[in-house]
């Protein structure tokens, strides 16, 4: 298939492009590089031997988006990653989040409608569940009132897709990711947070390499086995492979329903302290960390029921927590060699 990957130079997008190319698909990337670097295109080419076609523009620009779709009449499917994703920033700048995440989706759906493209895989998030009443969380668990504008854009995007699916006879798969971490084994691509990271794993690796003096562990008074919050961490390469499976499911018309939702996680929850211990185990280092106050808005625990993705999508995560930490550490060390500006 010829697959449009929006946000394809980003963290999850770049890993997905690699897996798509390795399965013989042709990829076209659109990204405005608002949260990624153009060099990722060369890194992808180094891994796969194929340089993906790349267009740099903002998908919220309706006219540019229209022109793009006109110039690409043979797109078979879309994987839509492009979005802003920082929860805290979305609290401070809600309109920026609604505009970016919703306008870009609407422009893509318009492009699909106008050009007869019917297949789309969408990046959703476990954030749509908030703190679920029952664990592990199933796809049928209630979507609760959003805790952040970011989470709200994912809930609204899913609704927009559902109605568009019915109205325009689309085939849609929404993938609700839990906590993607780690990097490609080649250490050519990985997560590249701009400035101080919000997420746990890049904060750990940046602390270990000396960019940050100390990791703050946000609270150890939760109702969890060691008091620190529990999440379902998932290797980004496993996650990338799930996108290949999902888009091929659309191609082969294997869907049971035109609009489907799948949880993507490992099904196992780990606490913050367990993640730190895994990192120390694989790196052989002692991490400098300190327990501090809870981070406002953090939920206590969440992990996925992955049985629907395992049985129906035919996908299962294979990497464990140590693999995730090992690859994240290898990537951090590779990044250090590059001396990128804006990381310190
Ligand atoms: P990322 O920021 O690394 O990648 C997103 C890419 O989209 C970036 O390269 C950015 O430049 C691009 N982009 C953003 N707005 C754009 C626009 N208007 N036009 C063109 N390009 C634009 O993020 P990621 O971690 O790879 O996440 C990808 C998707 O997965 C996002 O939709 C995110 O919300 C979702 N998601 C991420 C996580 C996570 O923890 N990383 C978890 C659940 C869901
Ligand atoms: C994990 C755990 C923190 C940093 C976020 C988004 C969610 C989804 C995934 C996109 C928590 C603790 C963290 C630090 C810490 N993204 N922590 N010290 O919050 O589960 O989810 O990313 O959809 O929507 O909210 O991930 O990596 O930020 O935190 O103690 O410096 O690590 O308290 O328990 P989170 P995270």
Each domain of the chain, given as residue ranges in start order, spans 2-181+235-264, 200-230+267-338
Kindly report the CATH number that applies to the domain delimited by 200-230+267-338.
3.90.25.10
User: Residue holding tokens 């998030």?
Assistant: 125
Which atom, in ligand 1's list, is nearest to the CA of 192? 3
- Closest ligand to residue 271's CA: 2
Assigned superfamily of 2-181+235-264: NAD(P)-binding Rossmann-like Domain (3.40.50.720)
Q: Quickly state the pLDDT bin for 106 (edges 50, 70, 90).
A: very high
Q: Which mutation among 122, 213, 239, 298 tests ligand 2's pocket best, with the greatest number of atoms within 8 A of CB?
A: 298
pLDDT, position 270 = 98
| Pairing verdict, β 215-218 and 289-292 | parallel
CA distance 147 to 155: 11
* Ligand 2, atom 4, residue with closest C-alpha: 200
Q: Is the pLDDT of residue 201 over 90?
A: yes
pLDDT, position 285 = 98
Share of the chain above pLDDT 70, in %: 100
Residue 81's closest CA among 161, 7, 23, 140? 7
CB-based pocket (< 6 A), ligand 2 = 85, 87, 125, 127, 179, 198-200, 203, 215-218, 229, 231, 272, 295, 298
Q: Is the pLDDT of residue 207 over 80?
A: yes
Q: Quickly state the pLDDT bin for 14 (edges 50, 70, 90).
A: very high
150 is catalytic: yes
Judge if pTM exceeds 0.85. Answer: yes
CA distance 77 to 112: 9
pLDDT, position 339 = 79
φ and ψ of 243, to 5 deg: -70, -35
Share of the chain above pLDDT 90, in %: 96
- Closest ligand to residue 41's CA: 1
**What's the average model confidence in pLDDT over 8-29?**
98
Three-state secondary structure call for residue 142? coil
Contact 125 CB / ligand 1 (< 6 Å) = yes
Out of 11, 97, 129, 150, pick the active-site residue.
150
Contact 242 CB / ligand 1 (< 6 Å) = no
Query: Which residues, other chains included, contact 258 with Cβ-Cβ below 8 Å and sequence gap of 6+?
Result: 165, 166, 169, 170, 171, 172
Q: What is the DSSP letter of 340?
A: -
Quick: pLDDT tens for 302-337.
Answer: 999 999 999 999 999 999 999 999 999 999 999 998
Q: Is the pLDDT of residue 342 over 90?
A: no
φ and ψ of 234, to 5 deg: -140, 135
Q: Is the pLDDT of residue 70 over 90?
A: yes
Contact 36 CB / ligand 1 (< 6 Å) = yes
**What's the average model confidence in pLDDT over 217-232?**
98
Quick: pLDDT tens for 253-308.
Answer: 999 999 999 999 999 999 999 999 999 999 999 999 999 999 999 999 999 999 99
Ramachandran area for residue 256 (φ above 0: left; ψ -120 to 50: alpha; else beta): alpha
If one compares 343 and 56, the residue with the highest pLDDT of the two is 56
């Amino acid at each position: 298939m010829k697959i449009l990957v929006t946000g394809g130079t980003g963290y999850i997008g770049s890993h997905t492009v690699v897996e798509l190319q390795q399965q013989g698909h042709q990829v076209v990337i659109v990204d405005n590089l608002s949260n990624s670097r153009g060099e990722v295109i060369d890194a992808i080419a180094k891994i796969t031997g194929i340089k993906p076609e790349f267009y740099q523009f903002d998908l919220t620009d309706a006219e540019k988006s229209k022109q793009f779709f006109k110039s690409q009449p043979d797109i078979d499917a879309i994987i839509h990653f492009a979005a802003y994703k920082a929860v805290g920033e979305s609290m401070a700048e809600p309109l920026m989040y609604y505009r970016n995440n919703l306008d870009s989706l609407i422009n893509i759906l318009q492009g699909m409608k106008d050009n007869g493209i019917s297949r789309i895989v969408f990046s959703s998030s476990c954030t749509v569940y908030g703190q679920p009443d029952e664990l592990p969380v199933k796809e049928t668990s209630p979507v609760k009132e959003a805790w952040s504008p970011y989470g709200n854009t994912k809930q609204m995007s899913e609704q927009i897709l559902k109605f568009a699916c019915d109205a325009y006879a689309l085939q849609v798969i929404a993938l609700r990711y839990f906590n993607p971490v780690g990097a490609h084994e080649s250490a050519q691509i990985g997560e590249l947070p701009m400035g101080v990271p919000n997420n746990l794993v890049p904060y750990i690796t940046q602390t270990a390499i000396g960019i940050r003096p100390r990791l703050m562990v946000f609270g150890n008074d939760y109702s969890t086995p060691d008091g620190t919050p529990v999440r379902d961490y998932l290797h980004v390469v496993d996650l990338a492979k799930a996108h290949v499976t999902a888009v091929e499911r659309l191609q082969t018309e294997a869907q049971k329903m035109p609009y489907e939702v799948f949880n993507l996680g490992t099904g196992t929850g780990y606490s913050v302290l367990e993640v730190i211990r895994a990192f120390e185990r694989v790196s052989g280092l002692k991490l400098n960390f300190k327990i501090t106050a809870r981070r406002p808005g953090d939920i206590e625990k969440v992990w996925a029921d992955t049985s629907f993705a395992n049985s129906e999508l035919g996908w299962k995560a294979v990497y464990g927590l140590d693999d995730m930490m090992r690859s994240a550490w290898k990537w951090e060390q590779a990044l250090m060699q590059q001396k990128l500006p804006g990381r310190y």
